[in-house]
């Protein structure tokens, strides 16, 4: 049985549960117990505070866990960062009061920075030969400059509205973070095999999200051109239409090049282009 730790409640809870569901894992967590066993996969799920997850994974209480990279780096346990999950995105940034000018971290030499991320910040200060002083606090970091506790802060930012409402501005990004699937480094062979099984599913879900299925009609004389912009998983599927000289073409397009590909297809006289989301994609 593989044991996974996920956040009990908070910003990573919904996306972690959704990911497991998209991987076909059925959980029964109606009344929010501390742990639950999946109905159709040998997986036990522990619901924990995010800050505790690296330690539990390191100790082997949980085999794997879903947690922000910011927490993983701050706790700095010797565990494997297995997969970047693409949700829970945020930045760990330095912010100063709106009116203060800032060119580089050197401007904070001798000044106080309030944070809950003392280890990551210390590393950043050391790398940059900064003599700023860290004032470690456990929450509500954004109010520290306003009450005279510190000159600057180092905290997580996503929309930036918390900084804005507290009269602060983001001046330096120390870390770009997202949720990570982390794992204990000494998994049993059985659990390693289960993790690989889970990773195959996670990969299929993530790859599918980054791709679209596309179906279009094209004149046969343009098929070569069209195939050149539609690599698909191997090459596009081409089937003749009832109408002489025309074919239906089906392929997979990556989200990143999507509009560029559509523009080229239009140039090559593609018509009736249908775009369909993909649920799972296994290479
Ligand atoms: O109870 P528990 O300890 O488990 O939860 P928590 O309160 O410590 O964490 P939680 O749920 O707030 O965040 C969990 C993880 O989500 C973090 O470790 C990050 O990896 C990720 N994440 C993504 C964020 C944010 N975005 C975020 N915006 N975590 C916190 N924030 C906070 C930030 O600290 C600041 O107070 O939101 C505020 C800023 O948001 P904006 O949108 O105003 O910029
Ligand atoms: Zn926390």
Binned at pLDDT 50, 70 and 90, residue 283 comes out as confident
In a domain, 283, yes or no: no
Residues 76, 200 within the same domain: yes
Mutate-to-test residue for ligand 1 from 56, 90, 143, 175, highest number of ligand atoms within 8 A of CB: 90
| pLDDT at residue 120 in the model | 98
Same domain as 199, residue 128:
no
Looking at the CA of residue 71, tell me the nearest atom of ligand 1. 18
Mapped to the 3 state alphabet, what secondary structure does the chain carry?
CEEEEEECCCCCHHHHHHHHHHCCCCCCCCCCCCEEECCCCCEEEEEECHHHHHHHHHHCCCCEEEEEHHHHHHHCCCCEEEEECCCCCEEEEEEEECCCCCCCHHHHCCCEEEECCHHHHHHHHHHCCCCCEEEECCCCHHHCCCCCCCCEEEEEECCCHHHHHCCEEEEEEEEEECEEEEECCCCCHHHHHHHHHHHHHHHHHHHHHCEEEEEEEEEHHHHHHHHHHCCCCCCCEEEECCCCCEEEEEEEEEHHHHHHHHHHHHHCCCEEEEEEECCCCCC
Q: Give the pLDDT score at 211.
A: 92
Provide, rounded to the nearest whole percent, the portion of the chain with pLDDT above 70.
98
Assign residue 242 the CATH number of its domain. Answer: 3.30.70.120
For residue 164, being part of any structural domain is answered with yes
120 with 220, same domain: the answer is no
Atom 2 of ligand 1, residue of closest alpha carbon: 49
What residues line ligand 1, using a CB cutoff of 6 Å?
Answer: 7, 10-12, 49-51, 68, 70-71, 88, 90, 155-162, 177
CATH of the domain at 185: 3.40.190.10
Give the Å distance between the CA of 108 and the centre of ligand 2: 27
In a domain, residue 6? The reply is: yes
pTM for this prediction? 0.90
Domain match, 253 and 195 both: no
What is the number of domains present in the chain?
Answer: 3
Residues 188 and 49 in one domain: yes
Residues 128 and 25 in one domain: no
Q: Do both 119 and 251 map to the same domain?
A: no
Each residue's pLDDT tens digit, 76-135: 999 999 999 999 999 999 999 999 999 999 999 999 999 999 999 999 999 999 999 999
Say if 255 falls within a structural domain.
Answer: yes
Residue 188 and residue 242 in one domain = no
Same domain, 159 and 259: no
- Ligand 1 binding pocket mutation candidate from 34, 65, 137, 157 (most atoms within 8 A of CB): 157
Residue 18 shares a structural domain with residue 137: no
User: Which residue has the CA at smallest separation from atom 33 of ligand 1?
Assistant: 156
Domain-located, residue 189: yes
pLDDT 10s digits, 134-182: 999 999 999 999 999 999 999 999 999 999 999 999 999 999 999 999 9
Distance in Å, CA 224 to ligand 1 centroid: 50
Say if residue 95 is in the same domain as residue 77: no
* Residue-range definition of the domain harbouring residue 43: 2-88+178-207
Q: Are residues 33 and 165 in the same domain?
A: no
State in Å: Cα 1 to ligand 1 middle. Answer: 30
Q: Does residue 282 belong to any structural domain of this protein? A: no
């Amino acid at each position: 049985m593989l044991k996974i730790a996920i956040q009990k409640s908070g910003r990573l809870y919904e996306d972690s549960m959704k990911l497991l569901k998209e991987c076909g894992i059925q959980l029964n967590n109606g009344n929010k117990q501390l742990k639950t066993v999946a109905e159709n996969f040998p997986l036990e799920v522990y619901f924990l505070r995010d800050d505790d997850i690296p330690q539990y994974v390191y100790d082997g209480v949980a085999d794997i866990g879903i947690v922000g990279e910011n927490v993983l780096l701050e706790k700095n346990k010797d565990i494997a960062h297995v997969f970047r999950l693409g949700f829970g995105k945020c930045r760990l940034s330095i912010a100063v009061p709106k009116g203060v000018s800032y060119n580089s971290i050197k401007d904070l030499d001798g000044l106080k920075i309030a944070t809950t991320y003392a280890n990551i910040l210390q590393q950043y200060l050391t790398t940059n030969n900064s003599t700023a002083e860290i004032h470690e606090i456990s929450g509500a970091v954004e109010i520290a400059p306003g009450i005279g506790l510190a000159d600057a802060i180092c905290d997580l930012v996503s929309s930036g509205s918390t900084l804005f409402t507290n009269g602060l501005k983001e001046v330096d990004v120390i870390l770009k973070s997202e949720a990570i699937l982390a794992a204990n480094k000494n998994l049993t062979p059985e659990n390693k095999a289960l993790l690989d099984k889970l990773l195959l599913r996670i990969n299929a879900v993530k790859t599918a999200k980054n791709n679209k299925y596309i179906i279009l009609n094209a004149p046969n004389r343009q098929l070569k051109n069209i195939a050149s912009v539609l690599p698909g998983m191997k090459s596009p599927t081409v089937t003749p239409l009832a109408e002489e000289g025309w074919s239906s073409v089906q392929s997979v397009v990556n989200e990143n090049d999507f509009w560029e590909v559509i523009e080229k297809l239009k140039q090559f006289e593609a018509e009736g282009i249908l775009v369909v989301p993909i649920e799972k994609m296994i290479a």
